[in-house]
Structure 1
Amino acid sequence: MPPVNSVTVSESNGLTFLDVSNSFASARISLFGGHILSYIPKVDERERLWVSPHAYLNGERPIRGGIPVCWPWFSDDHGREKGALPSHGFLRTQVWKLVNSEDTDKGTTITLSPSFTRAEGFENDCSVIMKIAVGEALEVLLVTENTGVVPFEFNCALHTYFQVDHIQHTQINGIEGQYKDKLDDWALKSTPVPYTITGETDRIHVAPIKTAEIEVDGSTFTEVVSEGNDSLVIWNPWQGAASISDMDPFGYKHMLCVETSLTQGQTLAPGESHALKQTIIPR
């Protein structure tokens, strides 16, 4: 199916990209990984997503930055030894297909689906689609449906990398309660106030937090609204970025991950579906 007028298809290094341009915003999507790489609202022409300058854009590895899709498990929570299965699942390393596209008075909507949803570590009958709405806001909806005859459990996340001018001038608002600290043997800790990033950070906030704000230099830059989540993940590798092959050693200064997530296990009975949604609102 050919895309609508607001969508241009291009190829580079063996990957296919969808470039969206409408009266509200521009965006770029890689069909490898069903991966959103860019969102620039025309209200201020400022990029909201960060992609590593050393990201692999040839299909050899998952893309570092943008909005990776984690499914059907988060991180290495797949029930096997770490490294036995791909971190964050297998949807971010396969080619997705364009199911539908539509132009409306609110922008452009694109529907994608992965090539397959059964693989080692997850052998259940289900379907997955992702709907991306590019307009005054960027809406990303990941829908999982149990098409089989037995229930199954899964986790997932929209692992969004936000671009910030400088991490030391950035504050997160709207997050309360406790989080699990991956860097301290999963210790349960209270959310800091004010919430700033001052070192390596890898936290799972174990609450269905709906709205978080990314504030840069005292002004709200982006609002992140989550639906269908049971967690919100905050990540920045800090100087550990130097040990990540597809990151610049100083890339951590200009990115912050705020991830709309299911990390506590979602069970779907036959015929049931679940929708995980993240809305990125320029402010």
Structure 2
Amino acid sequence: MPIANTISIEESGGVSFLLIDNPLCSAKISLYGGHLLSYVPKSDGRERLWLSPMAYLNGERPIRGGVPVCWPWFSDNHGKQKGELPSHGYLRTQTWKVTESDESEKGTRVVLSPTFTRGTGFEYDCSVQLEFVLGDVCSITLRTSNTGVVAFTFNCALHTYFNVPNIDKASLLGLTGDYKDKTDNWAVKPTPSPYRFSGETDRIHLSPCPRVSILDNDEFLTDVESRGHDSIVVWNPWHGAASIGDMDAFGYKHMVCVETAYTGGKELQPGETHSLTQIIG
């Protein structure tokens, strides 16, 4: 299949990478994991994503940073004992293939498909597509279609790591309602205002807010729009980063995850398609 002119292919460590360079942005996608590693709009030349300098980019393990794809479950919510099945599902450790690519005034469009969707812990017939539109904004859509004859329930997320100059000066704007706090035995708490960071943060916000802004020193940094979601997940490991093998002990200072997610269980009837979309501005 012909590849769009704004895409080149790089091979490194046994993994193929798509390098996108068009008049509006540059970007990099790893076909291992269907994983967006970098997105830089040319309007300001600022990297939106954080990628761990210790990330494994050779296919040995999931990539730390960028935009991991979580599917068909989120975290360890797979109905088995923790560790019995891979955290966040098994799409992020597969090699994906390019099924479509083209160019328009909006930028470069790339559509990827995983090697398989049926696996241990999810024995259903379905198809999955991951579509990127990379231009003056970055749109990512994860589509799940039920191609079988019975309904199934799944969870999914775009687990995006955003680049921030200093987490001590970062804040979020746009989140409302209650959240479940994993660091406090899943206690339900009201969303803080102002929303700042002073320690380990692992929260599932239950209100599907359509837009969250990431601020630095109260000045706009990045907009995150979400569609087709039921929750927003916010994560920063803080000092716990020191125990994460593919993350620098002080890496937490320069990242925050704001994840477009479906964590409450999405039921999909035969013939139905669900789209989860995140737009990064």
Q: Deviations over 1:220-244 (max 9, x none)?
A: 1110000000000000000000000
> How far apart, CA to CA, are the structure 2 residues paired with 1:190 and 1:218?
21
TM-score by length of 2: 0.99
Matched, 1:109 2:109: yes
User: Shift in Å at residue 27 of structure 1?
Assistant: 0.3
After the TM superposition, which residues 248-263 of structure 1 pair with which residues of structure 2 at under 5 Å, given as runs?
A: 248-263=248-263
Partner of 1:130: helix, strand, or coil? strand
Q: Tell me the equivalent position of 1:57.
A: 57
The answer for the alignment partner of 1:48 in structure 2 is: 48
Aligned-partner SS, 1:92? helix
C-alpha deviation, 1:2, in angstroms: 2.7
Q: State the alpha-carbon separation in 1 of the partners of residues 184 and 217 from structure 2.
A: 29
Distance in 2 (CA, whole Å) between partners of 1:69 and 1:3 is: 23
Q: What corresponds to 1:188 in structure 2?
A: 188
Residue 92 of structure 2 aligns to a residue whose secondary structure is: coil
1-side partners of 2:29 and 2:235: how far apart?
Answer: 22
Distance in 1 between residues matched to 2:225 and 2:106, nearest whole Å = 18
Q: In structure 2, how many angstroms separate the alpha carbons of the residues matched to 1:191 and 1:105?
A: 39
RMSD: 0.5
Q: State the Cα deviation string for residues 66-90 of structure 1 (Å, max 9, x = none).
A: 0000000000000000000000000
Determine if the alignment matches structure 1 residue 70 to structure 2 residue 76: no
Q: Distance in 2 between matches of 1:229 and 1:62?
A: 23
- What runs of 5+ residues in structure 2 fail to find an aligned partner? none
Tell which deviates more after alignment, 15-24 or 215-224. Answer: 215-224
Cα distance in 2 for residues equivalent to 1:169 and 1:260: 23
**What is the 5 A alignment of 1:78-93?**
78-93=78-93
Q: What fraction of aligned residue pairs are identical, expressed as a percent?
A: 59
Whole-angstrom CA distance in 1 between matches of 2:224 and 2:91: 23
1:273 paired residue number: 273
Q: CA deviation at 1:209?
A: 1.2
Q: Which residue of 2 aligns with 1:233?
A: 233
Shift of 1:218: 2.0
Aligned to 1:149: 149
* Displacement of 1:48: 0.3
- Residues in 1 aligned to 2:167 and 2:215: alpha-carbon distance in whole angstroms: 10
Partners of 2:260 and 2:277 in 1: how far apart?
7
SS of residue in 2 equivalent to 1:234: strand
CA deviation vs aligned residue, 1:125-149 (integer Å, no higher than 9, x gap)? 0000011000010000000000000
| SS of corresponding position for 1:28 | strand
